[in-house]
Chain A
Amino acid sequence: MLVPLTAEEGSSRPWALLEMQGELERKDGGSLEEAFDVGTLSVSSSGSVLLTIGYHQLEGKRVELKKPFAVLDRTSSEEGGSTGFKVIGVVREKILFKARPRALITKPGGK
């Protein structure tokens, strides 16, 4: 069986990738399937990328990938039902949050 990997105009659009340890959970009872705000991304003055989720903060940095990733989307043609993959983007760098989250401490007793 042949499964073609094809590209089209705009296939080389750059995509971004964020990688962090563990997984996300929602404490508000919502599901991960629906749209929700995870947290806030910002850059520190030292150039690292910060992701603040509630009272926790992840510190990460931009890492250039050794080899790029092609982002593939499964396609199936209407008639034959044969599947294929279409390149919809290329990832060349990722923002890697390597460390565990750090608690953001406010003033003692100020909560």
Chain B
Amino acid sequence: MSGAQQVRLAAGQPRTLAYANGIRKDLQLLEVDEELLQELLTDGLCLKGAADEEAVLCSSSRTFAVKSVETTNLVLLVQQEAEGASQAQPAAALGSQDPNVQPTPPGQLTGLATQLSKNAGAASCAPVVACAVVGAHLELVPAGPRLHQLDALLARARYGAEGSPQERAQWGGSEAQAGGSEGDAMEADGGSSGGGYTEGELLERVQCSARELRAALAERKALCLDGRYCLVDEGYQGMLLELVLLTAVEHGWPLSRLPGERVAAALQPHGYDPRVTLHCLATFGSLADSSCDGDGDTSGSGEAEASPMDADSGGDPAAAGAAAAAAAAAGTCGSGFFALDEVAVCLHFTRSLLQAQPDWELSDFEEAWQRAVPEGMLPALDMLRGEALLYGGGLGPHGLPSPRRIKHFPLSALPADAPGRFAALFAERARWEWEDLAPYIQSLRGPGQTAEALLLKYARATQQRPTDPVTYSMR
């Protein structure tokens, strides 16, 4: 018989099956695919869950729901046998070749006499010992990362937020400086704040894999200061963006090519941590020139170029250096140029308009919006998908044409779970057209799940006439 078999059985050489003394019932079987098994054997995996959560299993890149599958069958586990355990002693081996102990011919039952000799043969060979019995095994079902805990944690770690005294105390130096007036106290000390969470702390509490966590942090535009993640308070971030825009105008820097470290250095005297300023640039824009990354020559020339400019504009060359150093420490590329993203910047102004007044007549809103955004940027209504809804229009109750209106309905304020999200959506509007609905349900999709499947489960599609658009209503 092949060596790959775990229970070595050879024809004509029976073996006793035995229970071990105090057979174990506490072993677990975990069903894994080969890929995951390899990861388990080399790096290990992790089960995660608080007392009130369902546990999930995380690899370095994926998250699985864990399902316990019970069986009514008797399942015995046999530990690997030592080499040679199955080799019968020579006498027994000879005995098994005894012509009296024939293998059972097919279709014929072994007689009791044969059984006895079989048992005798088995007795001379080491028994197959079942060391554990299991009644269930664990199955893994690929699932999306469960990030609500991350959002809850990050909501408590807001940089620049107007917080309670305790929170301020927790923030330590960093908060004081950020809020403070003039900041030459802005030194290395800014990083010693106890706010935010390290990646390790987050991984411990959030039910997702390390890779999913990093993606989620990037998606949430989390700020990493000295290895601790937090969110930048929206109000603070917005104020900073507006200051960045003013500074850009003041220095004549094009919004499509903002020199990161110089912007940061210019704002530093006003109490803004250069790392936070660079993060703000990265949040509302993207690094336009990637050639600088980690390249000594380029970043060196960038700094050299920066200093005279700053001297001209009354800035402090040392500050520029500090900003660059801080940027390097924060892992961003300080000497890069940032191109502000039109949509992100326009959305920021939309939010501040809609927060001040959640419901507008569309034409008024468009006018106010255009006035608010920096010159050269063109706000367009399709930027508002997932942020605001258009409604009204057509004829009003008295036959008078009623104006189109716009209303704040941000995705970020809706529940993260599918049933809750759909309930909130249908509470807002009984019927949705796909165009309006899509931005609100994209983020609900788990791995391999389509938006169609979600709609099928939670909504009812109707179409009044073949020419009408399909609308979705509550199921």
What residues of chain A have their CB less than 8 Å away from a CB belonging to chain B?
1-7, 11-24, 32-46, 49-52, 55, 57, 62, 67-74, 85, 87-93, 95, 104-107, 110
Q: Is the CB of B16 within 8 A of A91?
A: no
Residues of A near B71 (CB, < 8 A) are 19
- Sample 25 A-B pairs with CB under 8 A, ordered by A number: A1-B50, A3-B47, A12-B41, A14-B6, A15-B78, A16-B5, A18-B76, A18-B78, A19-B73, A35-B21, A39-B17, A40-B122, A41-B16, A42-B13, A42-B14, A42-B15, A43-B103, A45-B105, A49-B9, A50-B104, A52-B118, A68-B37, A71-B77, A72-B29, A73-B28
Q: Is the CB of A69 within 8 A of B110?
A: no
Most chain A CB atoms below 10 A, which of B23, B26, B78, B118: B78
Give the CA-CA distance A40 to B104 in the complex, in Å: 14
Q: Mark B38-63, 1 if CB is under 8 A from A, else 0.
A: 00111011111111000101000000
Q: Is the CB of B75 within 8 A of A17?
A: yes
Is B309 in the interface zone, CB < 8 Å from A?
Answer: no
Q: Is the CB of A40 within 8 A of B16?
A: yes
Q: Is the CB of B19 within 8 A of A32?
A: yes
What residues of chain B have their CB less than 8 Å away from a CB belonging to chain A?
1, 5-7, 9-11, 13-23, 26-34, 37, 40-42, 44-51, 55, 57, 71-80, 103-106, 109-112, 115, 118-119, 122, 127-128, 130, 132, 137, 203-204
Q: Is the CB of B1 within 8 A of A43?
A: yes
Residues of A near B13 (CB, < 8 A) are 42
| Chain A residue nearest to B137 in the complex (CB) | A69
Q: Is the CB of A72 within 8 A of B76?
A: no
Given contacts A11-B41, A45-B11, A93-B6, contact A37 B27 (CB under 8 A): no
In the complex, which of the residues B9, B26, B48 contacts A3, with contact meaning CB atoms closer than 8 Å?
B48
Residues of B near A85 (CB, < 8 A) are 28, 47
In the complex, which of the residues A21, A44, A68, A89 contacts B74, with contact meaning CB atoms closer than 8 Å?
A21
Q: A4-B47, A40-B122, A41-B14 are in contact. List 16 more A-B contacts (CB 8 A).
A: A3-B48, A4-B44, A16-B5, A21-B72, A38-B19, A40-B14, A40-B115, A40-B118, A43-B9, A43-B11, A45-B104, A55-B112, A70-B32, A71-B29, A74-B28, A87-B40
Q: Is the CB of B29 within 8 A of A37?
A: no
| Chain B residue nearest to A103 in the complex (CB) | B109
Give the CA-CA distance A49 to B104 in the complex, in Å: 12
Residues of A near B73 (CB, < 8 A) are 19-22
Give the CA-CA distance A43 to B9 in the complex, in Å: 7
